[in-house]
Structure 1
Amino acid sequence: MKRKGGRACSSKQQQQQQESNNSRERFRSRSQFSELCSDLTSTIPQPLHSSKPDQNVASQADQIEHARNYIVELKERIDNLEKRKEELEMIVNQEDTDSILPVIEVKESGNNLEVQLVIKQDQDIMLHQVIKILEEEGAEVVNASFCTSGYKLIHTLHAKVRSARVGIEVSRVRERLHDLI
């Protein structure tokens, strides 16, 4: 009889030990998951305007959804930029581009505005005038760069729309830049 009681006690101890091990594993998994969620949300920018009054109390599900949406948005931006790069490379690599130069592209994406000007290198352009037009139309230039390809000069300007509510009229910006160049 002692054996049966001993086995029952041993079996009960094994069950308790197994439950304790399972509990520790679940706690470790939850802790690891929470840490990974925290790392993920700390690497992506927080939304400027949240429908929730306090973003710090967002559930993990909300945080993961925000991260997923941000990744999808980045993927779309990458795809659009790759497409634009191909388009510009086609323009730059064309043999007879004299007839199509200058090329003025103005694209708006949310609160961002991108202006690309493809001109002949010997064409005189006053970049400060381009910036002035953008500022007059309600954009703040945050970055400007240029590169050369053969005898073409490509200017790229990135700007933020000052008032997201009002926006910016892309066709008017394009028209004013065309008049300038």
Structure 2
Amino acid sequence: MDKGTPKRSRKTMEKERRNNMKNLYSQLNSLIPNQDPSRPLPDQLDEATNYIKQLQGNVENLRQTRDGMMGVGGSQGSSSTRPGYSSNSSVQIEVNENGSALEVTLVTGLECQFVFTEAVRILHEENAEVVNASYSVAENTVFHTIHAQIGEAATSDAGARITRRLKNFEI
């Protein structure tokens, strides 16, 4: 009877291995958006591989964007610098207007925090309501993003006037 025990144990181990692999495939499948579990396993693995490669590309693009905003990885004035930003200024401002919505991006050094307060003040003076404001700090650089809505009481050129006033802070 000893001969049957190792064989049965091997069968049991193989069954457990297959079940474990099935669970792992199921977990992987659940992480991939729009994945069809009825598709053959090789197709599911190809889809997962492509999705992971896409995510890696996204991470690399975001890393390059971040480095470009911080002026890392290139000389001043190189193509790695984000458009609209001067790589040698201590305050950089970009205003994007989409109808009555404004997105103001401020890039400052730690010593220029007053620019954020002044930007919010200017927006309020021009009848723009700040909807959302956020910031992040990387080394000695602060990135502010302000989302605002131009009020109905504002004049038709309020966006251009806000942009001009904010650009006065660029150094």
TM-score by length of 1: 0.44
Larger radius of gyration: 1
Larger % of helix: which? Answer: 1
- TM-score with structure 2 length normalisation? 0.47
